[in-house]
Structure 1
Amino acid sequence: MNLLNSSKAIILLFSIIIPTIIQAQSKIKICLTGRIVENLKSYGQSFLNAAFLAKEENDLTNKVEIKSYFYNNRPLEPMHIYNQMVNDSCSAIIGFEYLSDLLLAVKEQKNDTIPIFTSYASTTNSDQLPKNIFIFMPSYNYQADKMMSYLLDRYKNINNVLLITEINRDEMLKYKEVYSSILKNEHVEYSTFDFLENDSDIEGKLKSFLNERKYQYVFLLSGAIASAKIANIMNNHSTVFIGTENFGSSVSQTFFMRLNDKVINSHFIRNLDFIQPYDALTKFENIYIQKYHEKPTVLAAYTYDSMKIILKALNRTGIVNTNSILSTNYTGITGAYLNNGQFHRSTNYVILSVNSNGYAYEK
């Protein structure tokens, strides 16, 4: 009798354990990765918040596990992290916000079955990437064209131009390429100054290069910290500084916070910003604030759309891979959309100016 009871107990135990194991093994793993989200904790938290918000809304049967793989500035770290995520059976990846990091991951790919959604990385019109790379941002050409159109409308004649480029970053080299092309087409003469991120004497070399010369228009094709250092040297209240999305946003005014002199003439372009949201973005912002009691970053909006796409593909097909993503139609909050097997980048943009109170909407 005791033996019979023991057998029943064992059977009952296995009946509980085995389905749990099967369920755990069958979960779809969505992996979040990036460098900025490791270095700036507020970005990392908004990244995670947006992913879990989308999961809460769309993964009612708890099929999905979210796992983070944030990394630091060590060389080749994106390659190591990508391989770790593949070995850990990640079904989809969200992150690699730097183009240089994304390109390193692409080099490691053995195939294009794992979809990778990236936020701030972009490409030029002529760049070709595998079909599993989903980029939300407009091309660098598109953003540079819109920025130059704004500058020409506002200032009429653009001359005495300097392009300053952080050349260790692929995205900044792309910006330099497209702005150089536009300036040549407009018959505008320009000078260039290149530097490396880890150069401890950027200020000294820039002062030597300038040799007291004043430029009217300075394109800061660099990160927020380096851009602020340069602006602190060159700001004479007359020079106009033109930046990129790396200046930050109205939520996180990275460039502005590092300026010694807040009186400055400066403009920059972004794909999205909550300073002038449209209906879909406003709705997301309100939901996010209600849940987390703080404003979302733009990174959160890209993450939210990425997760919603992945979960819609999963709920519709039962699997997550590049083909299931491409076969899913989706229109979200960032302006990017999927339709008839094609992923279309966002064409939204906003131009902000920098004034003594911070960032202000221009266009």
Structure 2
Amino acid sequence: MPTAMTTADPAHTVVDVGGTTLRVGTYTPATGELSRVRRMPVDGMARDPEAPVPVLQERVVEQIVREVTRHTAGPPPGPVGVAFAGPISADGLVLAAPTVWGRRGDPLPLARLLTERLGTPVAVVNDLTAAAWRYAASEPEPFCLLTVSSGIGNKVFRDGDVLLDPAGHGGELGHWVCDLSPDAPLCDCGGRGHLGAVASGRGVLAAARRAAAADPDGFARSRLAELSGGPVENPALAKALAEGDAFATRVLRGALAPLAQAIGAVFASVGVCRYIVVGGFALAVGERYRRLLVAELVRQGCFGLTPERIDAMVTLGASDDDHGLIGAGRLLTARHPARTEGGAR
């Protein structure tokens, strides 16, 4: 866990690389403050879906180097932390990045490449691993961080670190196969029936569109139809859910069933009794999302827990998109603690 800092501790440069947005900012260990945040589109497949994977990999590396150098007005003065959307090994090898450069491609030694190019140590971790470090300082007990956005991911933080295999395995609930039917929804990774394809914001949107096509009269009478005014999109869906629209709620309940099953499995197998939900879709729906998820968990049951205890174990995270940046800063603080005036580390 992070150690005591002094006002002389240097600030860290932190980067968060998602499927569509790259963020860069400054994290100050002494105050825990995140500042000077800039956001820009990632030079990945979202901007050029036809480009070969090696080309996109090189573009993303170049973009990170360029933006860090611009942010620090030259070579960075100290270690850099990078939160990246994909499974990462302990030595910073990106094993896959479906949302950044597609389904296939050789693993990319991102930490080594950035260290060589920037001339300073660079720590590269999965974006949700970084996000877990954001909450580690305020959560005294083990917890599971769960993100529900365009995909689904999770990380368990216990005994001062995220539980991960050195090769990067773990925390990928979004790729648990929850639908074995041959026509199950297709995941970004190429697999079918993965939880992320079913219960993510993208998955719920696809389900809402299918429901609207199957029941046009019911859809036409819904608040979701009123808000949409045409094809259903996520902002209207989230707003309709937050307002309690019955049509949209039925769709979401169907997606929450396998998500609650996955959470129940984590609880039963690992014993974690704290679940923090983040992600653009879940946080856009807000408290109603939490209550519907809790209701489904209560319906399915968590062995040994009362409904009141289940309600208490699920909470929403901070409603911003700074999780990866703040978490990367806190992780760097833990890995590179500055010496205090007394010389302790």
* Structure-2-length-normalised TM-score: 0.35
Larger RCO: 1 or 2 (CA < 8 Å, sep 6+): 2
